[in-house]
Amino acid sequence: MKTRITELFGIEHPIIQGGMHYVGFAELAAAVSNAGGLGIITGLTQRTPELLAQEIARCREMTDKPFGVNLTFLPTVSSPDYPGYIKAIIEGGVKAVETAGNNPQKWMPMLHEAGIKVIHKCTSVRHSLKAESIGCDAVSVDGFECGGHPGEDDVPNFILLPRAAESLKIPFVASGGMADGRSLVAAMALGAEGMNMGTRFIATKEAPVHENVKRAIVEASELDTRLVMRSLRNTERVLKNDAVDRLIVKERELGANLKFEDILEEVAGVYPKIMKDGDMDAGAWSCGMVAGLIHDVPTVKELIDRIMAEAESIIVERLSRAIGR
């Protein structure tokens, strides 16, 4: 399947594995790339640029296919060493970067001079147009269904994707609610050139997370996510658990007086406890509504091969039959 996204990143299938905290390690990125998609290492999970350089080198040993690095630009006072991380990316020969968070404009010249293609995560058409205007090569359009931060507009992909298609000149992928061949065909019908999957890739054999995490996703339904931190305008979609229940009680009781410090116990530094140790009630962790469509834990190759076979079957057989071809 050839699209502007496969051509842009030099990949076989229009499937991208988005950056995920304490999930996007070399093992998963390499598995996705080897299966024909674009695997992504999560940059800030590596505590220093030196560790990121080692992770890139480790991934390079596992695949000779293109892979990328996610770099999230955080609105913090004590900013990570972004120049160091970008230097590690460039020196590691990485040719794709998924940016997220704050506007990446100041880093674009450095990335483009190194021949790196940039895809920016956006939750609205206006942010997508801004990304296009600063020179991003593509965008990942994240609908309200997505795990993690869906923005504050609450527009689902059935509306957001065609609006993006009406407005953008650069290619974009659909993110949020993507799980299978049906997702891919639907996304492309709505104007996307491929899809980005997060939660679905956590429930794979190669995802380097605790089995409890994978089991929780498989057992969850589409009704088991919650939106937290809305009053802080930092909305995050997470999987329901005891910590999330506590967090929601605090939000309800404190109302407009809620401060980030009030919920530190539920959100700060919890990912290693969940993803590595399998403590499923340690805190709030990002998960999409798409959990309701995830029923197994295949290898990455099995998953991607299945998605592409299903997509082809839908296009060639079901849709063709519908118009009498």
Residue 228 DSSP SS3: strand
Whole-number Å distance between alpha carbons of 210 and 258: 32
Question: Would you say 212 and 280 are in contact if contact means Cβ atoms under 8 Å apart?
Answer: yes
Render pLDDT for 227-260 as a digit per residue (tens, 0 to 9): 999 999 999 999 999 999 999 999 999 999 999 9
Per-residue pLDDT, 76: 72
Per-residue pLDDT, 75: 76
Backbone angles phi, psi at 165, to 5 degrees: -65, -35
Render pLDDT for 91-100 as a digit per residue (tens, 0 to 9): 999 999 999 9
Render pLDDT for 54-86 as a digit per residue (tens, 0 to 9): 999 999 999 999 999 999 998 776 789 999 999
Contacts of 114 (CB under 8 A, 6+ apart): 89, 90
Residue 238 DSSP SS3: strand
Render pLDDT for 127-185 as a digit per residue (tens, 0 to 9): 999 999 999 999 999 999 999 999 999 999 999 999 999 999 999 999 999 999 999 99
Whole-number Å distance between alpha carbons of 292 and 137: 32
Contacts of 251 (CB under 8 A, 6+ apart): 228, 229, 230, 231, 258, 263
Burial of 139 (0-12, 13-18, 19+ CB in 10 A): buried
Render pLDDT for 33-50 as a digit per residue (tens, 0 to 9): 999 999 999 999 999 999
Which of 297, 238, 209 has the alpha carbon at shortest distance from 24? Answer: 209
Per-residue pLDDT, 325: 77
The two structure tokens encoding residue 77: 């006072």
Whole-number Å distance between alpha carbons of 175 and 161: 9
The 8-class DSSP code of residue 38 comes to: B
Render pLDDT for 290-317 as a digit per residue (tens, 0 to 9): 999 999 999 999 999 999 999 999 999 9
pTM equals 0.97
Per-residue pLDDT, 77: 63
Per-residue burial over 110-132, b = 16 or more CB atoms within 10 Å of its CB, e = otherwise = ebeebebbbbbbbbbbebbbbbb
Question: What whole-number percentage of the chain has pLDDT above 70?
Answer: 100
Instruction: For residue 324, name the pLDDT band (cuts at 50, 70, 90).
Output: confident
